[in-house]
Structure 1
């Protein structure tokens, strides 16, 4: 997986309000977006929400960025506004003529109940085809050094995240549809059944719950010291989905951070390290899945056996964005897992 700038990791340099007014960003349709105008709208929404007076221009700073990555279409411009050194809002603006996921995300953020178990951006208002939201404090989870330091350090960081995901999966979303596991899986992939007995049986027993849908580590904001967990990017949220997809994406994908040498050795090598080795991460993965399964009333093996579904979902989602998945681990991991379960999963199933 290529690492890209996330929605909360802007470039370090900030511009003055006046300087931002002269910056124009080209869209995929040939139009141009004025960063200063977007910043002005974000500030106006913030002031409307808080009832505060307009700050002097010298106290306003603007940052803008387009996330780096392999996405060829439906790219987004992010504009962050700070007042007195404090972030007060972030705009997410589509650069494509059609970007329905942003409408979906704004609708989701607007409709999440106050009792939602994890902190997330608060919607400030629509900005054309995009929207503005509050800023999330913390650091991106992959930037937390403890995550790759060893098994206890990894679990110290990851446990509150896993607990938060479990709490989400124990809630019920208002207005959620009534679906069978097959119907829920069909929201993710075209062909839910794989023909592999272990994967198909796990789907039949799958927990259905509200799901984030794209819970890679880069969509988690973490506050070191306090262990506070906040979630970004609700574009793929579903009021009823396959719960295991979230925790598998979170934990399995963390292997990319622990084994950065996968770029040299390949994805079969990475799979062996993640699922079949005596490296500490393999045990940490098993520990995390067992902890999550116990918290949500599932069997550890059933959660792990949905790894191929998680991988296929990400393949289909990323392909739909116009991106090539051949340089990502998903196909290799799905095929390897379907061909045979890891030894520790078989033991958990005993």
Structure 2
């Protein structure tokens, strides 16, 4: 079995946590063969790639292992580097419980693997790497439209028969400690919010996109809810794309980024309005009400990321939440017109 990574760092980290990469790869291969019925490949046809995502996690860090068979990615494993990582067990349960009629392509769970699990490899490109996303209004919308359509499809899918009956306030309480903010526009938007199946962490990096046919696939179901506040997904997706369109935001600051996204005459503001209107029309909501869920989305990610031991001061969420709660931006007011 060939390891094409630089094994000194990743393998050493894995060994410090009692994880043997070769054992993990062997379990992945057995699970892959059990699912596909494929014959045992020759050792020289196996390739293992190992990485630990860069980031500021102080807890619940993960080791990822990808197994390629005869040059084709076959399986990916998520292995915890922390003694306590319940989200991986939850994600395996979610993937195992998704009905075959689930409207979007997603990884299929293969097997539990210690405190983590292995799943099928999901094809396509990460959305941030798709050509055209940052190339201008027409090119950006050609990329985003099938993604927005897919999110709408997810949110329009029938709920499971055993899904809990929740009010919007109860659904929001799954995400944040205090769902209402005391700002009329944000609280009004929550009371009118569509409840649906939600991904929960629909940043662009959790979207896989096939550039040939526009097929959209979803990764990372750690924050999936069978009943959640639908608008959180689409607002997260669209606003986070702004980080890609405005890569110089770290030097200019989050107030500048907010102005570019919501107040300026930059083309991205127009695409954002178009996307919100397109999604809202498809799902029977008011575009401005969807946009007014921005503070709820930001507060959710602040609380989620903080729980992982990460510092959110270098992220846009607090600035966006505070400014949006203070005054509805001009983009949202235009959507009301």
What TM-score, normalized by structure 1, do the two folds share?
A: 0.93
**Given the alignment, which residue of 162, 174, 181 partners 1:194?**
181
What displacement does 1:51 show?
1.2
Aligned residue number for residue 195 of structure 2: 208
8 Å contact from structure 2 (residues 10, 50) kept in 1: no
- Work out the number of aligned pairs and report it: 336
Local SS of the residue matching 2:82? coil
**Given the alignment, which residue of 287, 290, 294 partners 1:300?**
287
Aligned residue number for residue 107 of structure 1: 93
Aligned residue number for residue 36 of structure 1: 22
8 Å contact from structure 2 (residues 14, 21) kept in 1: no
What displacement does 1:281 show?
0.2
Q: Cα distance 1:301–1:41, how it changes in 2: closer, same or farther (>3 A)?
A: same
What displacement does 1:29 show?
11
8 Å contact from structure 2 (residues 107, 122) kept in 1: yes
Aligned residue number for residue 88 of structure 1: 74
**What are the ranges of 5 or more consecutive residues in structure 2 without an aligned counterpart?**
none
Task: Tell me the distance in 1 between the aligned counterparts of 2:5 and 2:124.
Answer: 27
Aligned residue number for residue 123 of structure 2: 137
What displacement does 1:346 show?
1.4
Local SS of the residue matching 1:146? coil
Aligned residue number for residue 278 of structure 1: 265
8 Å contact from structure 1 (residues 28, 96) kept in 2: no
Task: Tell me the distance in 2 between the aligned counterparts of 1:19 and 1:153.
Answer: 35
What TM-score, normalized by structure 2, do the two folds share?
A: 0.96
Task: Tell me the distance in 1 between the aligned counterparts of 2:91 and 2:154.
Answer: 17
Task: Tell me the distance in 2 between the aligned counterparts of 1:137 and 1:28.
Answer: 26
Local SS of the residue matching 2:19? strand
**What are the ranges of 5 or more consecutive residues in structure 1 without an aligned counterpart?**
1-14
Task: Tell me the distance in 2 between the aligned counterparts of 1:27 and 1:59.
Answer: 26
Local SS of the residue matching 1:303? helix
Task: Tell me the distance in 2 between the aligned counterparts of 1:196 and 1:22.
Answer: 52
What displacement does 1:26 show?
5.5
Local SS of the residue matching 1:147? coil
The question of 1:182 aligning with 2:182 is answered no
Task: Tell me the distance in 1 between the aligned counterparts of 2:105 and 2:192.
Answer: 29
Tell me the alpha carbon deviations over residues 46-74 of structure 1, each in whole angstroms, 9 at most, x when there is no partner. Answer: 01111111001011110011111111111
What displacement does 1:18 show?
11
**Given the alignment, which residue of 215, 218, 226 partners 2:213?**
226
